[in-house]
Amino acid sequence: MMHRQALTMVETWRGGLLESYHAGHAVICDEKGAIVESWGNPDQVIFPRSSCKMIQALPLVESGAADAAGLTEAQLAFACASHHGQALHVKMAASWLEGLGMGEADLRCGSHEPSDRVERDRLIRSGERPCQYHNNCSGKHSGFLTMNRHIKGHSEYVDHDHPLQVMVKSAFEETTGEDSAGWGVDGCSAPNFATSIQGLARAMGRFAGATGGGDRRDQAMNRLTRAMAQFPELVAGDTGTDTELMRAMDGKVSIKGGAEAVHIAILPQIKRGIAIKIVDGGYRASDAVMTALLVRLGALDANHPYAKKRLNAVQTNWRGKETGIVTLAPGFLGR
């Protein structure tokens, strides 16, 4: 079968000349998993990276582990986060594990410098080193530890054959509607299961169609989607694309980005799911494409400051002088 190639979606212009371009794939699915629109190759197999954290959190909710631990909706949103390591994120991770009778040493995500400048500068001034609470995936791992305690699993919960990760893989394959083509180790050491762009969009469409009145899977999908939209500041951070766009849409849409320019959106009001992958891993392109598709679906006002920041965005240098523009490529979205 001949597969379509990646489509040029975003271009960068400087001085009236094309300087760079980004190609990718994008799929929009309905609540039944059928493709509504697609660009590039829907069958392209990818690692979803952190864009699938709500799928990884499904066993936590549908097993009853979340309720048994008394988790709040804010904590469920945090379980789906790739946060910036702001003070509120670090405090939430620490208090969550403290409530479980655990601590930072129980995490298996590793530590890195926070992307939040305020917290980064505080650490530098105080001579402190970042810890695992600062890891952008500490919320997901707090959810993993909660689930692991519930099933009484061994401490190395990120092993790909750990009972917890076996449950995650099952949820992943069931929601994407595909057997995973393989797995790789993610940045936070957890296994990341591969799927097609269509499979990822199919899963997001199913999340979008969840009403909360169905079976355990439906209820868990609905609850996680609502939690993310309700607490956008926990999903990324005050300057993050996911947080800003969710705020711009008043909590009507849930958005989640992942490493290497993967991006998803869940739109419950119109029962649509979006999945995007930019081939070269460029975030400026995935941000622009996500913004454009949300505008196309009527979910986002193209004139909102957070939309204009990412779509047809004027580039400036350190002196504030205009240098160029990042814009959608001709031929994409009917341009």
Contact, 41 vs 5, CB < 8 A?
yes
Q: Which helix (H) or strand (E) holds 274?
A: strand 272-278
Rounded Cα–Cα distance for residues 299 and 290 (Å): 11
Contact, 204 vs 258, CB < 8 A?
no
Q: Which two tokens stand for residue 114?
A: 């926070």
Cα torsion 161, 167, 172, 174: sign: positive
Q: How many CA atoms lie within 13 A of 333 on its CB side?
A: 20
pLDDT at 331: 85
Q: List the CATH code of the domain at 28-282.
A: 3.40.710
pLDDT at 1: 30
Angle at 11 between CA 6 and CA 16, to 5 degrees: 145
**Residues 6 or more apart from 99 whose CB is under 8 A from it?**
69, 70
pLDDT beneath 70, residues of the chain: 1-3, 335
Contact, 304 vs 253, CB < 8 A?
no
Q: Which helix (H) or strand (E) holds 73?
A: helix 73-79
Rounded Cα–Cα distance for residues 284 and 302 (Å): 17
